[in-house]
Amino acid sequence: MSINGGGEDSTLLATDDMRAAARRVREEARNARDDGEEPRAARAPDPATQRRTRPIPEPEPLKSHGPARVVALCNQKGGVGKTTSTINLGAALTEYGRRVLLVDFDPQGALSVGLGVQPHDLELSVYNLLMQRDITPDEVIRPTRVENLDLLPANIDLSAAEVQLVQEVAREYTLQRVLEPIVPNYDVILIDCAPSLGLLTVNALTASNGIVVPLECEFFALRGLAMLTDTIGKVQDRLNPKLEIVGILGTMFDGRTTHAREVLDRVVQAFDERVFHTVIRRTVKFPETTVVGEPITTYAPSSQAATQYRDLAKEVLARCPAG
Ligand code: ADP
Ligand code: MG
């Protein structure tokens, strides 16, 4: 069973390729440091348009649901569009008939807020599910205003789990263990990671089949990538060999600045086809959606931003292998 209705996976990055990519990124970051703060002028004036483009196939309708492909949205840098992308990719996936669960795995609870849930009002959150054996997922998961889009909410309690989990047996597998019984109920489970590479994020990566790395199109984005790919490599080696990078997502792209284009160009040079062809442009619409507590795909369905997340959903479905 798969979320893309079948098909072989040949597009995902193998471990060795990823190590090579990580090496390239480290070199990139080192070269950039040697250059001073700014990247050298990009070879291609507009990577967003100059890349080879391939038509993204329309997702096939599913005949039945589950088991879910689990994908973590991960970058230890804050403010790069993890939460925004989790909400809107999730909502866009439901438009293609997928049943989606969003897991808020950041003690800040921004994903929950973005879906209209007030974290301090929560009686039960993902924290209780992780730490209390008598709590079942049904007690914590709640529907959202979007059909087929469910939420496993979080609040500041989750920050205590980072400390308490250290004492647990198989502490890195805790999230995987609690998600296991609900994997058959969904087609995609997206995990919104906290901006750190600590034990919570390691739990998210251990529970996942794939990773989407949102990357703000600004220069310092590249430095963090080397550390992230190192962590991914360690999780693959020691905890979860099936983990793969689904793709790197350029976010907050401002086509008017050469800087944003240069950064995207460098990322494409380093990661090539691992970089999604879909790029999320900067728009004031996203801060607005947080206020109303719903995805852009329902708040402004015909906006450019909604279209971009639908394109991303198609790319993700095309890249995800059979589960
Ligand atoms: P993270 O989860 O990585 O910390 P967020 O998704 O919370 O990042 O985004 C950080 C801030 O940037 C939020 O205020 C969000 O509304 C805003 N934002 C996200 N994506 C965009 C975009 N494409 N254009 C403009 N603002 C954005
Ligand atoms: Mg966030």
pLDDT tens digit sequence for 16-29: 555 666 566 556 55
Decide: 108 in ligand 1 pocket, CB within 6 A: no
> 3-class DSSP state for residue 179?
helix
Atom index in ligand 1 nearest the CA of residue 287 equals 16
pLDDT for 27 equals 63
Mutate to test the pocket of ligand 1, among 83, 84, 212 (most ligand atoms within 8 A of CB): 84
Nearest ligand by distance to the CA of 306: 1
Mutate to test the pocket of ligand 1, among 286, 294, 307 (most ligand atoms within 8 A of CB): 286
pLDDT for 17 equals 57
Mean pLDDT of 40-44: 38
Give the pLDDT confidence of 295-304 residue by residue, as tens digits.
999 999 999 9
Decide: 55 in ligand 1 pocket, CB within 6 A: no
Give the pLDDT confidence of 170-190 residue by residue, as tens digits.
999 999 999 999 999 999 999
Give the pLDDT confidence of 194-231 residue by residue, as tens digits.
999 999 999 999 999 999 999 999 878 888 888 999 99
Q: Whose CA is nearest to atom 11 of ligand 1?
A: 79
pLDDT for 270 equals 87
Rounded distance between C-alpha atoms, residue 91 and residue 218, angstroms: 26
Q: Are 105 and 200 in contact (CB under 8 A)?
A: yes
Per-chain residues with Cβ under 5 A from ion ligand 2: 82-83, 110
Question: For residue 88, which of 190, 219, 228, 176 has the smallest C-alpha distance?
Answer: 190
Residue with more model confidence, 52 or 124? 124
pLDDT for 163 equals 93
Amino acid, res. 321: P
Decide: 255 in ligand 1 pocket, CB within 6 A: no
Res. 49: pLDDT tops 60? no
Which residues partner with 216 through β-bridges?
251
Listing from the earlier edge strand, what are the strands of the sheet with 100-105? 142-143, 149-152, 100-105, 188-193, 69-73, 210-216, 244-251
Please tell me the pTM assigned to this model: 0.86
Decide: 81 in ligand 1 pocket, CB within 6 A: yes
Mean pLDDT of 154-171: 95
Decide: 86 in ligand 1 pocket, CB within 6 A: no
